[in-house]
Amino acid sequence: MYRIVKNCYRFELAAERAGTYTAYTIIICDVYIERDGTVKRRLWVLTVMLLLLAACGQAEAGLPMKETEETDEYAALVATTPVAGIEGEAVSPDGRFEVRAEGASGEYVSGIQPPEFLQIVDRETGEVLWQDHGWLSQSVLWSPEGGFLAQARTARTWCSIIVIETENWTEWEFTLPDGSPIPEYTFLPDDEPWCVWREYEGCFDLTLGRGGDGEPKIRYYCVAGSTNGTIEGCSWEEDRVALSGDYDFDHDGTPETVELVTIFGENGVSVGGYTLRIWKEGGTPIWVQNSDLGHASWCSVFAFEQDGRDYLFRYNPTMYQGFATYSYTLFSLSETGEEQVVREGSVNFDLNFGAPMHESYDPEAITAFLEEVHGLLEDSELLLTTESGEFRSGGPGAGFKDDLSHWTDSGLYDESKSLEDNIRSIGAYWKKRQAS
C-alpha cells in the first residue's frame, strides 16, 4: 500500500536596501511516497513569493505580513485552472458503480489542477465505496462483467497502474514480471489503448511506453483475482505481431489489422498462451480468440475468402478418450465484432467400440463432414492453430490435416482407397480388435 506524505515549511525573511524593506515569504512543499516502509521522494516544489513594502514609516513599524499581489495572482491562477477529470469508462458495464473526481486540490501543476479525491460510488445510494487522492491524470477501464477496474494514474515523471476488485474493494498494484515497479519516465501510449480486457474476467493486456527510440512499447498479459477477500495479480511479458494480409472481416470496405499475441514466461520462453486479435482502423479491438497448448484450449482459426469477401473459419476437431465432436463455424464480423454466422456444421463419433455405452460411428456422415471442411480449407489461410499441442501460423489451410490423424496415423490407412473406404475399413478393424 502507498502512503502519501506532504510536509510544508514557511519562512519569513527581510532585507533593507536604500531605505526600502523587502519581505520574502518562502514556502517549501516536500512531497514523497512511502510504500511498505520504503520512502521515495517523487516531487519537490519550491514557491517563492515576494512582498515589496514602501519605506515610508515602515522601518519604525516593523514588517507587517499580509497578502501579496503575487499571492492573489497565484490564487486567481489556481481558481481558473481546470481540474483533471476521469478519462476512459467512468460507469461500470452493469451501471452499478461510477468513478468520480471530486473537489480541487488547489495545486497548480503543469497547467492542470489534480482533483482533491478520486472516488468510486454506488450510483443508486451515492455511497463512497473506495477513495484515493487525485492525480494529474486518471484513466479507468472496467472489466467486461464489472468485477474489476483498471486505473492508470500519472504524475510528472512517473505512472502507476492498480486493479481494484469490487467485492471487498482491495487493490493490486501492477508490477513487472520480476516484481519491480514501472520505471520512472515510463508513460502510457498515446496511439493505442493502454489496457484491453479479455473475455475472461480478471485477464487483460497492458501496454507501457509511447514508442520510438527513447521509450519503446512493452506489452504485458496480466491476471488478477480475489483470494480470501484480497486481490492478487501477476504479469507476463507478451509479443504482438501484425499478420500479413489485407482482410475485411466486417465488410465495411476498410481492412482490419490481424494481430497474433504470444505470452512469455521466464527467460523469454513461451508459456503456451496465444491470442488472435482483430483491430479496427483507429486502434479499436473488435474480436479476440484465445488458445493455448493445453488440450482443452486447442483451436484453429483460418481466413476464408468467397466471392471476394473475407470470413473467419474456426475449426475444433475435438476428441476426449475416444469420443469425438468435430465442429466448425464460418462467420463474418459486425461493426462491433459480433460473429455473424454464415455456415456451421458438426459430427460426433465414438472410437470405443468395445465399451457398453458405445455410441455412433457412421463412416458416411464422418466422411461427408470432413470433405465439407477440407473443401473450405482449400480457400483458406491459416491464422492460428494449437491443434495437437503444436503452435503454427501462416500457410494454406489445405495443409491442415490434424483432423485426419486418427486414421492416417494408425498404420492402416491405404492411399489407394477413398477417405470413406479408409474410415469404414479402419473402423471395422478397431471394432473387431476391441471385441476380441
> What are the residue ranges spanned by the domains of the chain?
2-80, 82-242
CA atoms within a 13 Å half-sphere pointing along the CA-CB vector of 322: 15
pLDDT of residue 271: 67
> Which residues, at least 6 apart from 334, have a Cβ–Cβ distance to it below 8 Å?
250, 340
DSSP 3-state of 122: strand
- Give the separation between CA 435 and CA 318, rounded to whole angstroms: 25
Q: How large is the average pLDDT for residues 354-367? A: 89
Asked if pLDDT for residue 18 goes beyond 70, the answer is no
Looking at residue 68, its pLDDT comes to 59
pLDDT at 266: 63
Residues in contact with 227: Cβ distance below 8 Å, sequence separation at least 6, in sequence order? none
* CA distance from start to end of the chain: 67
d(CA 436, CA 434): 5
Distance from C-alpha of 261 to C-alpha of 272, rounded to nearest angstrom: 11
Amino acid 59: pLDDT: 39
Contacts of 44 (CB under 8 A, 6+ apart): 29, 30, 31
pLDDT of 95 over the 60 cut: yes
Closest by Cα among 2, 101, 10, 21 to 61: 21
Q: Give the tens place of pLDDT for each residue, 78-93.
A: 888 899 999 999 999 9
Q: Which three cell numbers stand for residue 7?
A: 510536509
pTM score, whole prediction:
0.65
